[in-house]
């Protein structure tokens, strides 16, 4: 399954993609978190840490300059990534393998990466570059679901509306709007007015998210019970249609 996470700059795509990837990995299925941003920081939100994230970036930047191009999806996964941490919910008492965090070798081009032959049982969560240009460039490549992240500002909602319409051309699966950083009823009303008829998951404004970012930890590790993280864990079931 290929899931694209799109939206305006700063809306919360990376935070959403990271919590989604780690939530999905808890079920035991193979998950690859794909950072398609030229300015990648998905590793930080997954809890991979600054050093490993930067090491992956230098590896990717070395392609064509001493580092060989990857020829296949498996090659990319094997050579251009590290395992992210992941843990089953505490009641299981077991350490689980987390999602494999992979930086793409092809200069962050989802239209190339998502068009590759990816094993059926693998779920790819792709954190797209800001805006809707990358969705347009997907061309004929299809994904299985699109998550459109927006904050409650008019500009971000306008991008989200266009992204959701465009997403219909690239997926036959669910399109879920993540309305992030919602403060109050007025924000909810604005979101509902602009995106009526869409499936919307509301995520509250929550200081735990920037606090985790500042501490270079995954929000899911730093504050699993914070309101925004709890709300974001509701995304995986929505995508599965349950």
Give the residue among 77, 78, 143, 133 at the shortest CA–CA distance from 109.
133
CB neighbours of residue 118 within 10 Å: 19
- Could you say whether residue 210 binds ligand ATP (CB under 6 A)? yes
Among 11, 34, 46, 160, binds ligand ATP (CB under 6 A): 11
Say if CB 235 and CB 204 are below 8 A apart.
no
Q: Tell me the window of 59-67, 106-114, 189-197, 207-215 that interacts with ligand ATP (CB under 6 A).
A: 207-215
Among 111, 205, 216, 221, binds ligand ATP (CB under 6 A): 205
For residues 133 to 172, the per-residue mask of contacts with ligand ATP, x marking binding by CB under 6 A and - elsewhere, is: ----------------------------------------
Burial of 225 (0-12, 13-18, 19+ CB in 10 A): exposed
Q: Tell me the window of 70-78, 91-99, 191-199, 203-211 that interacts with ligand ATP (CB under 6 A).
A: 203-211
The token duo for 58 is 């230098």
- Could you say whether residue 109 binds ligand ATP (CB under 6 A)? no
Shortest distance, position 149 Cβ to ligand ATP, whole Å = 6
Characterize the bridge pairing of strands 175-182 and 199-204.
Answer: parallel
Say if CB 152 and CB 158 are below 8 A apart.
no
As a whole number of angstroms, the distance between CA 230 and CA 202 comes to 11
State the Cα torsion 61-65-71-73 to the nearest 10°: -10
Q: According to CB under 6 A, which residues from 29 to 68 bind ligand ATP?
A: 37
Shortest distance, position 71 Cβ to Mg ion, whole Å = 28
Say if CB 234 and CB 204 are below 8 A apart.
no
Taking the CA atoms of 21, 174, 149 and 205 in sequence, report the sign of the dihedral they define: negative
For residues 8 to 27, the per-residue mask of contacts with Mg ion, x marking binding by CB under 5 A and - elsewhere, is: -----xx-------------
Among 181, 187, 223, 236, binds ligand ATP (CB under 6 A): 181
**Where do contacts with ligand ATP occur on this chain (CB under 6 A)?**
7, 9-15, 37, 130, 180-181, 203, 205-206, 209-210, 213, 228
**Where do contacts with Mg ion occur on this chain (CB under 5 A)?**
13-14
């Amino acid at each position: 399954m290929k899931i694209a996470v799109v939206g305006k700059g700063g809306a919360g795509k990376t935070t959403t993609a990271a919590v989604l990837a780690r939530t999905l990995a808890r079920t035991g299925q193979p998950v690859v978190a794909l950072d398609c941003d030229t300015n990648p920081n998905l590793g930080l939100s997954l809890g991979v840490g600054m050093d490993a994230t930067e090491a992956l970036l230098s590896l990717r930047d070395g392609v064509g300059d001493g580092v060989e191009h990857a020829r296949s999806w498996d090659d990319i996964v094997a050579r251009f990534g590290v395992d992210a941490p992941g843990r089953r919910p505490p009641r299981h008492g077991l350490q689980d393998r987390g999602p494999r965090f992979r930086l793409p070798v092809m200069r962050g081009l989802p239209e190339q990466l998502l068009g590759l032959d990816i094993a059926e049982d693998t779920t790819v969560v792709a954190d797209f570059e800001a805006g809707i240009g990358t969705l347009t460039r997907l061309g004929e490549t299809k994904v299985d679901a699109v998550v459109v992240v927006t904050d409650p500002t008019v500009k971000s909602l306008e991008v989200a509306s266009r992204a959701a319409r465009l997403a219909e051309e690239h997926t036959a699966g669910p399109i879920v709007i993540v309305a992030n950083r919602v403060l109050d009823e007025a924000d909810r009303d604005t979101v509902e007015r602009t995106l009526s008829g869409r499936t919307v998951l509301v995520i509250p404004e929550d200081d735990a998210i920037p606090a985790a970012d500042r501490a270079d930890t995954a929000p899911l590790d730093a504050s699993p019970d914070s309101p925004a993280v709890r709300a974001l864990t509701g995304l995986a079931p929505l995508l599965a249609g349950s």
